[in-house]
Amino acid sequence: MIDYSRDDDGVVTLTMNDPAQPANTMTEAYVAAMSAAVDRLHAEREQVTGVIVTSAKKTFFAGGDLPTMYRATRADAPALFKLLSTIKWDLRRLETYGRPVVAAINGAALGGGLEIALACHHRIALDRPDTRIGFPEVTLGLLPGAGGVTRTVRMLGLAPALTTWLLTGRRFRPADALANGLIDQLAATPAELIIQAREWIRANPDAAQPWDRDGYRIRGGLPAAQLPAFPATLRKQLKGASLPAPEKILATAVEGAQVDFDTAQVIETRHLITLLTGRIAKNMIGAFFFDMRAVNGGLARPRVEAPPPRRVAVLGAGMMGAGIAQACAEAGLDVVVRDVTPELAARAAGPGITTTAEVAALAGCDVVIEAVFEDPALKQRVFAEVLPVVAPDALLASNTSTLPITGLAAGVQRPGDFIGMHFFSPVGKMPLLEIVVGEKTSDAAVARAFDLGRLIGKTPIVVNDGRGFFTSRVIGTFLDEALTMLAEGVPAPSIEHAALQAGYPTGPLALADEVSLTLMQRIRRQYEAATGDGFERLPSHELVDAMVDKHERPGRSGGRGFYAYGNGKRGLLWEGLVEMATPAGRAVPLEDLKDRFLFAEALDARRCLDEGVLRTAEDGNVGSILGIGYPAWTGGVLRFAEQHDDFEGRARELAARYGKRFEPA
């Protein structure tokens, strides 16, 4: 896995190149190869003037071996300790070798890859647009355990190491990594990368790590006065949620800063093993590695050939339409945006985007994405206007969040080419795309929509038709549960804090304001009209109607909702909420509030899978985290149910206390 080559100047190049994988990771093959390479370096020390560590892959090093990590159990702890100790010992032997060691980072260096680079005395990164450098471990429920915490703290100081690198999971571009202290130099080309590495070796024959020199102190010292503030700051960042990975990173950094380097390494190893053998890391690795890889790899894409998109028509130049147009243009597609007037269409103007009010300007478009108001008649009308001029086999996509695709397709010619493409706002930031398949949607249309989603950088899940599809339906369940709590007399602050402490990114009442109570009311009334006598009216519906119709509080867009708003900022919860609720007959325990949110969504997601709305569990897990904010620590809405110690029993408990909606199917 590691090629060892020494030139006439005595410079040894260690080139990492795992023959069994497209990227280098910390597999057993890496461990054995690095041990052998370092052994040889020490054996040939008198003939060596310096060392360059680089990669033969497009990336430098991708990090830890996640499949192996995923399988780790508590019984594996002694073996894991030995393995991690070996990895660290070899990197320690490399940095104390007595010769200059340079990391020539020719591509992405994430997690373990960055840890290898930090064990070198100097780091030069190839300045390419796709190169990323960082520690994503916290987003997988882990911590950098091959010396990453220990070295970063000693290199940058406690506060910068934690707040910039270790707790954020950020993946920096090379220039940003240089500005933030973990990269020393940039190179414009692969050849220049190696030239600069050789030059640095010649200029620094006595190179050593700062912490191995006499008189070294951690930059900024140990900020004893600030130490009590670190846990409070972290808790504020986590919004009260208790997540083991960031807590262990903080503990590792603070504890390790107060002892010698080798002891700090042991502390780091022990904390990592605790995370590796725990449930939450497995949940997060399952979602963000296995499920994400399956979804993006086309698990739900029909195995049919599909022509690539070339020219996209976007109907509607509002915020959503403009965002879709920009995403398509940034992917190199020719984009035309149409609205009813040139002035309205111009709202979506940008590089690679043509705006127009003329139907004729859409001639030849092979993809049509409609992003107009959520009105079935309006959507069908705009399709009817453009169908005569676009390509005869154009993909016809509606960006709707709730309206059934089969019903929309009934009013449009060529229903086999008609599909739902539900983007999330803001389009530029939200990574998910929900592809909705109607009764007559063809496999070719699904494949074309999927390929377009991947082309513009989205993670596309594929679901079957139904009111609300998957994401809007399940997040509606979340909001309904919050409003039910409010109607029961649970104090509004308790509802918000319970959701945040469960790991949701936003409180449900704040989210309802963002969605708009008016929109929630309209969607529910559409569903009520379609269902007829079978519709069950809930206390949450009465509450929304009172908010909108009686108190004129439509949500954030109207400046008044569950919260007050001023100068574009959310203020305090509205005092009138106390009077709207039924006086509470009993206090509801915090754990019940948290579980009511988690279980309400998990149970509805299981119904989506049973009913065929969800095609795969992987789509449900990924969609719930990326699209509707289900807590990432769960590994996704369906994995939460699978890994819970007693999901069925706890659901029945909640059903007995709060209603039959919690009865497990």
Active site residues: 115, 137
How many CA within 13 A on the CB side of residue 357?
7
Question: What is the bridge-based pairing of β-strands 101-105 and 459-464?
Answer: unpaired
Q: Cα–Cα distance between 393 and 450 in angstroms, integer?
A: 17
Q: Distance between CA 500 and CA 469 in Å, rounded?
A: 25
The residue type found at 163 is T
What is the biggest distance separating any 2 CA atoms in the chain, rounded to whole angstroms? Answer: 89
CA dist 528 and 534 (Å) reads 8
Alpha-carbon gap, residue 159 to 166, rounded angstroms: 10
DSSP designation for 163:
I
DSSP 287: I
Separation CA 3–CA 54 (nearest Å): 10
d(CA 30, CA 111): 15
**Does the N-terminal peptide bond of residue 426 adopt cis geometry, omega within 30 degrees of 0?**
yes
Rounded Cα gap, residues 487 and 184, in angstroms: 58
Question: Six-digit token pair at 259?
Answer: 């002892």
Q: Which two tokens stand for residue 636?
A: 């996704």
Rounded Cα–Cα distance for residues 511 and 380 (Å): 30
Strands 109-110 vs 133-134: parallel, antiparallel or unpaired: parallel
- Residue 380 and residue 368: Cα distance in Å, rounded? 13
